[in-house]
Structures are given as structure tokens and as C-alpha cells.
Amino acid sequence: MEAGSMETTSTEASQPRPVEAGAARYRGVRRVLVVTLAANLLVAAAKLTIGLLTGTLSMVADGVHSTLDGASNVIALVSAFIASRPPDEEHPYGHRRFETLASMFIGGLLMLTAWEIIKSSLGRLSGGEAPEVGAINFVVMIATIGVNIGVTTYESRAGRRLQSEILLADASHTRSDVFVSLTVIASLVAVWLGWTWVDALAALVVVALIARTAWRILRRAADILVDRAALEPDAVAGVVQAVPGVQEVVRVRSRGPGDDIFLDLEVRVAAPTTAEHAAAIATTIRRRLRARFSGLRDVAVHFVPARDGRPDYALIARAEADALGLGVHEVIATKTDGGLILDMHVEVDPAQTVAEAHAVVSLFEEGVRRAVPDP
């Protein structure tokens, strides 16, 4: 059957998160960031104070790292406030990308930190003052490791619970502090034993760990900003293909962070599928996709008519009936030597006279004859 070329689209009315739920989520994110900020400032102050007093470069570098943790928390707080705003005329898809931009800025700060520490370390290796390591250095570093482990655990759990990209990025950032601090402790032991050059070398190891964390954050943010696929197309197609009425999944496109995914589908259906039937198919598609994938903000379904294949006479009859406000059911097609016979029950407005009903049904019959291909 040769169908028309018209394409129809079914979209949700944006279906954003409920205002209360979205506001509660961002309040939770801000609360976690405030606690993390206080912890990072405390840790940074302790490391910088003791590091500067004793001339321990690796400890100062770690303190600078923790200071930037605090700066990143401030950036995250501002971005979380902006990202919590609802969609508007200038930002019809919402403000969620501001959180992604903030994550990228955090990664950039880490890279800048790494460069500054490299310069200081190279200067120390080329000849500089030896640090004075004492018990206070070890006490401060061990205490800050405990604080960092607690902050990382708290922030990671909150990030997964609230599905917050910024919290997960910051938790990854803080997690790197633990390994950095362990490296610093190892360098303190070496300096205490008389190997003063190890302090500068340890600072370079800190740089490598910082750069690794920065790269992960930047890559994740870049994937979102360049609209990398958020969902596996084959997995989405498998769910949609099982919906009754869908003949083929033509295209699957997705984008956005894990908790704010926009999904566009193009599916092929029988050409005479009515608007009401298409709406029912789209509703089923969305329901099954939301049950299978979390974080779906919007699902747009585009319907494309099938170009050929065996004609569905029942669908053709219903499409013509819809155009005239009629109802049809029990459509039975019978092929004879004289042609095709369609037997069906047609429902008309009970308020119509017999003449009016006959006229409408006659129009319906003419429409069906035009729409049905030659057998």
C-alpha cells in the first residue's frame, strides 16, 4: 500500500519534575555543599598553616588543593541555585546545563592548580630550602585524611540519592585528596629520614593525581555539553519495538545528564493509524520507557507512516470514521471474485434523523473506497 508522506509527532507537555520535588532536590544539594565547604576550609587552613610554618612544599601543595576544593564548593553552590530555576522563554529546556558548566570549571581549576604545583616542585628540585618535619605535620595530615574520607562518603551518597552531577563530581574531587594526603605523608616520612628531595617529588605525584581527577571531570562535562548519547539506542529500541502498533524503530536520539535526559524517537506505524490510536501508542511508549530508564525528563515520539505492506482495513476504516466523527467496530474484510467487501458496524449520533445518518455514512463509504487500495 502506498501511504502519504505526512509525519506526525507526539510530545509530552514538557513533563518537568514537580516544582516541590525539584526545589527539595536543590535544597538537599545546597545543604550538602555547605557542609562540604566548611570541612574543606578547615582542612585547607590546617594544611597551609603547618606547611608554611615548616616549609613543607608537598603539604602546602595539598593545602592549595583543599583551598580550591572550597572554591569549587562555592561555584557549585551558585550553579545549583541557577540550575534550580524552572524553564523560561530564553531557556525552554531548563537551566540544568549550568550545573554541567560548573563541573567543567572545577576541572579547569584543578588543572590550574596542577600547573602551579609543578612550577614550585621544579624550583625545589633545582635547589631550595629543606623542610622541617615534626610530629605536628603527621597529626594534621592524618586528621585531614579522616575528614576527607567522611566528606567523600557523605557527598557520594547524597549525590547518588539526589542524582546530582555536581555532587558526584565534587565527591570525586575530594576522594583524590585522600590519595594526595597519603602521598604527602609518605614524603614526610622520607624527609624526616633525611631525603629532603622527596618532598618536591611527592608534590609532582600530587600533580599527577590532581590532573587525573580533573580529566575525568572535564570529560564527563564535555560529553554532556556536546550532546553525547545518554542512553544506549539498542536498549531503547528494544523497549519501544515491543509496544503494540509499532512496526519499526527508525531512530533513537538522547542527550543530557543522567538525571535530566531528553529522548527523541522516530517510529514507523501503519499509515492509516488515527491520531487517537497514535496518542495511545505514544503513551504506552513513554510509560514503558520510564519504567525501564530513570532520569527521563522529556520523551518526544515522531510517527512515520509505513510506505508499503499488507493494508490494515480496520485501521483505514477507523481513520475515515474519525474524520467524520463516526465510530466503527467489528470490521471484517472478505475478498471475492468481484472485489473486496468490508463489513462493519457504524455508530452515528443518535440525535440525527435517518436521512442525516444515511448522508454521513454515504460520505464515509466514499472515503473508504478512495483510501482502500485495489485488492
Position 104 pLDDT exceeds 60:
yes
Average pLDDT rounded to a whole number, residues 217-221: 80
Q: For residue 263, give every residue at least 6 positions away whose Cβ sits within 8 Å of its Cβ, in sequence order, or none.
A: 230, 231, 236, 252, 253, 254, 289, 296, 298, 299, 300
| Res 124: pLDDT | 59
| pLDDT tens-digit readout, 159-203 | 888 777 677 777 876 777 777 777 777 777 877 777 767 767 777
| Res 125: pLDDT | 63
Average pLDDT rounded to a whole number, residues 245-263: 86
Between CA 143 and CA 51 the distance in angstroms is 14
| Res 286: pLDDT | 93
362 vs 225, which has greater pLDDT?
A: 362
Range in 12-16, 214-218, 250-254, 346-350 the model is least confident about: 12-16
8 within domain boundaries: no
Instruction: Please tell me whether residues 104 and 156 are part of one structural domain.
Output: yes
How many percent of the chain have pLDDT more than 90? 9
Nearest to 84 by CA among 163, 26, 167: 26
Q: For residue 107, give every residue at least 6 positions away whose Cβ sits within 8 Å of its Cβ, in sequence order, or none.
A: 169, 214, 215, 217, 218, 221
11 pLDDT band (50/70/90 cuts)?
A: low
| Res 132: pLDDT | 65
CATH label of the domain that carries residue 288: 3.30.70.1350
370 vs 22, which has greater pLDDT?
A: 370
| Res 276: pLDDT | 80
Coil, strand, or helix at residue 264? strand
| pLDDT tens-digit readout, 312-348 | 777 778 877 877 878 887 777 777 777 777 888 888 8
* Number of other CB atoms surrounding residue 226 within 10 Å: 8
Instruction: Please tell me whether residues 94 and 156 are part of one structural domain.
Output: yes
| Res 148: pLDDT | 83
**Domain endpoint, select from 225, 241, 271:** 225
Position 20 pLDDT exceeds 60:
no
Instruction: Please tell me whether residues 35 and 181 are part of one structural domain.
Output: yes
Do 47 and 67 form a contact (C-beta atoms < 8 A)?
no
What pTM does this model have?
A: 0.53
Instruction: Please tell me whether residues 284 and 333 are part of one structural domain.
Output: no
User: What average pLDDT does the structure give for the chain?
Assistant: 77
Instruction: Please tell me whether residues 350 and 267 are part of one structural domain.
Output: no
**Domain endpoint, select from 210, 225, 240:** 225
272 vs 44, which has greater pLDDT?
A: 44
Nearest to 25 by CA among 152, 151, 165: 165
Average pLDDT rounded to a whole number, residues 208-218: 78
Q: What is the edge-to-edge ordering of all strands in the sheet holding 248-255?
A: 8-10, 296-305, 261-269, 248-255
Range among 2-6, 11-15, 287-291 with highest mean pLDDT value: 287-291
Instruction: Please tell me whether residues 300 and 321 are part of one structural domain.
Output: no
| Res 301: pLDDT | 92
Position 204 pLDDT exceeds 50:
yes
Do 307 and 2 form a contact (C-beta atoms < 8 A)?
yes
What length is written for the chain? 375
281 within domain boundaries: yes
| pLDDT tens-digit readout, 43-79 | 888 888 888 887 776 777 778 777 777 776 777 677 6
Instruction: Please tell me whether residues 46 and 111 are part of one structural domain.
Output: yes
7 pLDDT band (50/70/90 cuts)?
A: very low
Position 103 pLDDT exceeds 60:
yes
Average pLDDT rounded to a whole number, residues 85-103: 71
**Domain endpoint, select from 267, 285, 305:** 305
Q: Which residue segment(s) compose the domain that 290 sits in?
A: 230-305
Kindly state the cell numbers that stand for 205: 605525584
3 within domain boundaries: no
CATH label of the domain that carries residue 123: 1.20.1510.10
Average pLDDT rounded to a whole number, residues 240-255: 90
Nearest to 301 by CA among 6, 12, 3: 12
Position 12 pLDDT exceeds 70:
no
Instruction: Please tell me whether residues 254 and 298 are part of one structural domain.
Output: yes
122 vs 29, which has greater pLDDT?
A: 29
| Res 234: pLDDT | 92
The CA distances from residue 261 to 228, 243, 285, 366, in Å, are 11, 21, 16, 46
The CA distances from residue 40 to 47, 73, 253, 350, in Å, are 11, 9, 40, 76
Number of separate domains in the chain = 3
| Res 285: pLDDT | 93
Q: For residue 288, give every residue at least 6 positions away whose Cβ sits within 8 Å of its Cβ, in sequence order, or none.
A: 239, 240, 242, 243
| Res 235: pLDDT | 93
